Structure 1
Amino acid sequence: MGISLKSSQNLLKGLIPHTEDTTESITKITEYIKQEQNRYNIPDEALVNLFYCLLELKDNSLNEEIQSYLSSDIHPGRDLSSSMCTVLTYILLMSEKVLDEFNPKRFTSKQADNRRLIPAVRCCKKALFDSCGFDETCCETVSSALQSSNSHLKELVMSSNHLKDSGVKLIYGGLKSPHCQLNILRLSGCHLTA
């Protein structure tokens, strides 16, 4: 995508003998990418790749929309789309900002999209993942975050998820890590045995 930019074409003048004004093409490509991001069943990797393409084309509209969404406290009746949840996670992970609190239900009411936001646990001090539809993959993600050398997580609420013993064993692996900073772990209503 970046090759279609005028600045890139100037650098490649010797290799590309004929260049033309591509402003109209870039506009069409940008619109196409935005349509693709709203398709169902598109893999997360592909969504992030499309987001990269928008950044290469100097289109920051998606990034600006997410930053605006993050800075606002009130989002009446609005859910982020699946693609926006994926891009939100990407932006949070790439930024160096550590959130005081992260609650995926603030951004979406769909459990499938809640799970898309779980990797953001790496960049927060308090994570509220109660009733988020966690599965073992989610527990592996949380365990990995707890073991990270730059873990910031102090409080983790995972109540009312069907974790069962197998999920908690995965979390326990993260709790054993010398990097784990966790002080509070809430697991009520997670279908655990004695």
Structure 2
Amino acid sequence: MSKLERIKLIGDVIALPLVAVAAIVGVTGYLTDLREQKRQYTFAVVERYNESALSEARVRLFEVLIETQGRYPSANLGARDLGTVIAQRLTTDPVLATQMLPPLVRIADYFNAARDCMTAQLCAPELLEELLGPDALSFACVFEPSVKLLSARANVAGLMDGANALSKGRCHGN
């Protein structure tokens, strides 16, 4: 083996680990960038939850909760009981049903979009569930009967899928 061949062999032996290290560094950098991008998308989705239209929708639903609870002052209605009573009110009060339809659909649609961000792997699922899970759980536990009622009237399926996914279906388990 000539001196030139030995130098080439030594160069090849040294280059192979360097290429492997460079590949590992490149993949690590890519994954770090991807995680950061998912975090940014997640915060953008969460930020949208505080925009005026969604905030107004939440306020309107909260007013209905207070009004409904006020109709039964001696009873401390839990989430499921409130949900049942509100859904019953929607069947007998078309004005209330008309008033509640936009905020219910707006919030349900928002949670579906947040779920879609997770499904498309654009958002960080754990972070999104941590930030939105409690609100999704409250919404699902109280308003699922109302959303299902209005969904059936409109022949629209899946409006509660996002809230149930973000709350990991915990309301159903209670």
Check whether TM > 0.5: no
Relative to its length, the structure with more strand (as a share) is 1
User: Comparing both chains, which one has the higher relative contact order based on Cα–Cα distances under 8 Å and sequence gaps of 6 or more?
Assistant: 2
TM bucket, shorter chain = 0.3 to 0.5
Bigger Rg, structure 1 or 2: 2
TM-score, scaled to structure 2 = 0.33
TM-score, scaled to structure 1 = 0.31
Relative to its length, the structure with more helix (as a share) is 2
